[in-house]
Amino acid sequence: MYPPTQSTEVVSGCVVVARIEAQPTRGHGDALVLMRIAFAYQRGADRFAEWTGWISKWVVIPTIVVGLANVILRYTGQFFEVRLTNNSWVEAQWYLYSLIFLFGFAYILKHQINVRVDFWFANQPPKRKAWIDFIGHLIGLIPFAFIGLWVSIPQVQTSWRLNEVSPNAGGLPLAPIKTMIAVAFGLLLIQALAEMVKLVAVLRGVTDLYLEELEKHEQPIRIE
């Protein structure tokens, strides 16, 4: 990272050029340490996002099973004039459906598969895209995640304290699913900070410090 200096001296009538590796100053050394810590955080956040995305994918299966069971039991019960399902099954279906999205927040952000409403962004050079995303994350995404945590955490605490249950007869407890809302905003914030590390690396041209190459993301879903 630091250009070597050269010194010359005459030895037995020959000019000898010696390459002397420049030593980083204290300030540069501290900056490198901070950047390596930031990249280590980014890689850890990316791996965690992959794990939560894996959970989100598998939650689809019980969601389909419960939804199909609800339909079969409801229509079978109507045919025989017997109630075969209840509110807990119905609520379990939308609980599971919600988890698909709540666990998927960080995974979607990592892979840039969120919907982008644009007619201009996709045609910009990489560094300009990085600037646009950096500013957007800084003034939009990260504050949004903080506000989501700020609003949801007190609600979660209240729900657990009151042992809140659905107002529907035979409904499920509400505290667990409310907790997942706060968890989802936390996951989004963790990944948003990891994305900021990637963007700063692109803007500063120091992506060669990565121990792993930045993944090539699929083209974002765009609405023009």
Q: Which pLDDT value is given to residue 24?
A: 52
Is the Cβ–Cβ distance between 118 and 204 less than 8 Å?
A: no
Longest dimension (CA), the chain: 109
What letter does residue 149 receive in the DSSP assignment?
H
Is the Cβ–Cβ distance between 48 and 37 less than 8 Å?
A: no
Distance of CA 145 to the CA centre of its chain: 11
Q: What's the pTM value of the predicted model, to 2 decimals? A: 0.79
Pick the closest to residue 188 from 126, 124, 144 (CA basis).
144
The CA radius of gyration of the chain, in Å to the nearest whole number, is 26
Q: Which pLDDT value is given to residue 26?
A: 60
Report how far apart, in Å, the C-alpha atoms of 181 and of each of 99, 111, 129, 132, 219 are.
9, 21, 30, 28, 28
Q: Is 15 helix (H, G, I), strand (E, B) or coil?
A: strand
Q: Which pLDDT value is given to residue 36?
A: 87
Q: Find the helix or strand (DSSP H, E) in which 221 lies.
A: strand 221-223
- Give the torsion through C-alpha atoms of 83, 85, 86, 87, to 10 deg: -140
Q: Which pLDDT value is given to residue 117?
A: 73
Q: How many residues does the chain have?
A: 224
- From first to last of its 224 residues, the chain has per-residue pLDDT tens of 444 444 443 333 333 333 434 445 566 677 788 888 999 999 999 999 999 999 999 999 999 999 999 999 999 998 888 888 889 999 999 999 999 999 999 999 999 888 777 778 778 888 888 899 999 999 999 999 999 999 999 999 999 999 999 999 889 999 999 999 999 999 999 999 999 999 998 888 876 433 333 344 445 455 44
Q: Which pLDDT value is given to residue 207?
A: 62
Q: Which pLDDT value is given to residue 34?
A: 87
Q: Which pLDDT value is given to residue 126?
A: 82
Is the Cβ–Cβ distance between 134 and 196 less than 8 Å?
A: yes
Distance CA 184, CA 187 (A): 5
Count CB neighbours of 177 within 10 A: 19
